[in-house]
Amino acid sequence: MTRIAFIGLGNMGGGMAANQARAGHDVAAFDLSAKALEKAVGAGCVAAGSVAEAVKDAQIVITMLPAGPHVRSVYGDQVLANARKSALLIDCSTIDVDSARAVAEQARAAGFRFADAPVSGGIMAAEAGSLAFMVGCDDADFAAVEAALKPMARAVIHAGGHGAGQAAKICNNMLLGVSMLGTCEAFALAEKLGLAADRFFEIASQSSGQCWSVSTYCPVPGAGPSTPADRGYEGGFATALMLKDLKLAQEAAARAGASTPMGAQAEALYALFDANGFGGKDFSAILQLLRGRISE
Ligand code: NAD
């Protein structure tokens, strides 16, 4: 049994902390939201009154917070000042690469081991313990990070040094945003050309246009395997979260001097879709924008 502090018990963190408790670990949980904390206690965690209280005896600290500023503040102001130096610190939030590297440097200077370990997979994968983790940490620390993440994971991959996990996450999600838009555009054109969606699905999923957005996550209802499209685009991966990741990718590209014209176009289209009130819909719903049926 390991003593784990889990900070941030929202849509993702709630299920992840529950899986650590289910694996038999002693989980001290904290969230600013009393409701989220109550749910975690129902799942076997012990409520802490503050970040400081949660981390003070922890061997492992895991955070799952909204964005870079939250992570900088929780580590800078609270975790580093109150955790034991021997504690392994793992941030699973999706944040900008610069914040991940800055927090890693602060942690290293204070004598801690730190990893950025963002995830692929949504709320259902968080609950099922089947997330894929992309880890940025020192080589020497990876085995310990992998063991700590195991109860929440189907895969734990070492991406490289500090910040590499976040870099992998935003590059992967930029590719996903672009491939989903290409998929939607192709299905919208097929429709205009009188091609049945299920026929086009069968062909594209076995031809060179094949990709995850076509074969596994088809944006057209009834055309492929069951996806959020078959449930009115509810659940799945929200447009607002895709937009967040595309913005992170564009900010990183600007700082790195990388040319990402497709990523920029994807960000602009998802921003337009979000601004029309569809931020809560699954990101594959952008098909409706490309079909010119945004009100459906
Ligand atoms: P969420 O908003 O549901 O949860 C975040 C939680 O952090 C909230 O409960 C909030 O109260 C808590 N929090 C904020 N500041 C805090 C503080 N100072 N101290 C303690 N608790 C604090 O968000 P989520 O959907 O769980 O996402 C978390 C992270 O995971 C984000 O970075 C997101 O981009 C990433 N992510 C989400 C998904 C998804 O499908 N939801 C998938 C992959 C990655």
* Whether 11 and 155 share a structural domain: yes
pLDDT attached to residue 269: 98
Domain-terminating residue out of 146, 162, 178: 162
Instruction: Report the predicted TM-score, pTM, of the whole model to 2 decimal places.
Output: 0.94
Proportion of the chain above pLDDT 90, given as a percent: 95
Answer whether residue 154 shows pLDDT above 70: yes
Instruction: Tell me the CATH number at 180.
Output: 1.10.1040.10
Note down the domain range covering 185: 167-290
* Whether 130 and 216 share a structural domain: no
Answer whether residue 91 shows pLDDT above 70: yes
* Whether 123 and 181 share a structural domain: no
**Cα of 130 from ligand 1 centre, angstroms:** 18
CB 60 within 8 A of CB 29: no
* Whether 172 and 246 share a structural domain: yes
Tell me how far apart the alpha carbons of residues 248 and 100 are, in angstroms, rounded to a whole number: 12
pLDDT digits (tens, 9 = 90+) for 98-150: 999 999 999 999 999 999 999 998 888 999 999 999 999 999 999 999 999 99
* Phi and psi at residue 155, to the nearest 5°: -150, 140
Instruction: Report yes or no on 275 lying in a domain.
Output: yes
pLDDT attached to residue 122: 85
* Phi and psi at residue 125, to the nearest 5°: -70, -35
CA 57 to mean position of chain CA atoms: 28
Instruction: Report yes or no on 281 lying in a domain.
Output: yes
Q: Which are the catalytic amino acids? A: 169
Give the count of domains, the chain.
Answer: 2
Instruction: Report yes or no on 121 lying in a domain.
Output: yes
Instruction: Report yes or no on 130 lying in a domain.
Output: yes
Instruction: Report yes or no on 295 lying in a domain.
Output: no
* Whether 79 and 141 share a structural domain: yes
Question: How is residue 238 annotated by DSSP?
Answer: B
Answer whether residue 296 shows pLDDT above 70: no
Q: Give nearest CA residue, ligand 1 atom 1.
A: 10
Ligand 1 atom closest to 95 (CA): 32
Residue range 177-187: average pLDDT? 98
**Cα of 14 from ligand 1 centre, angstroms:** 9
Residue range 23-47: average pLDDT? 98
**Cα of 60 from ligand 1 centre, angstroms:** 19
Output the ligand 1 site: residues, CB below 6 A.
Answer: 7-13, 30-33, 36, 51, 64-66, 70, 74, 93-94, 119, 122-123, 237, 241, 244
Ligand 1 atom closest to 123 (CA): 40
* Whether 30 and 136 share a structural domain: yes
Probe residue for ligand 1, chosen from 11, 39, 244 as the CB with the greatest number of ligand atoms within 8 Å: 11
**Cα of 263 from ligand 1 centre, angstroms:** 24
* Whether 264 and 195 share a structural domain: yes
CB 17 within 8 A of CB 5: no
Instruction: Report yes or no on 151 lying in a domain.
Output: yes
pLDDT attached to residue 124: 87
**Cα of 290 from ligand 1 centre, angstroms:** 30
Instruction: Report yes or no on 79 lying in a domain.
Output: yes
Domain-terminating residue out of 119, 144, 162: 162
Domain-terminating residue out of 162, 181, 196: 162
- Identify which has the larger pLDDT, 77 or 287: 287
User: Please, what is the average pLDDT of the chain?
Assistant: 96
Probe residue for ligand 1, chosen from 6, 12, 93 as the CB with the greatest number of ligand atoms within 8 Å: 12
Question: How is residue 293 annotated by DSSP?
Answer: -
Instruction: Tell me the CATH number at 68.
Output: 3.40.50.720
Residue range 251-256: average pLDDT? 96
Residue range 263-277: average pLDDT? 97
Residue range 180-184: average pLDDT? 98
From residue 191, give the alpha-carbon distance in Å to each of 46, 77, 280, 285, 287. 53, 54, 26, 16, 12
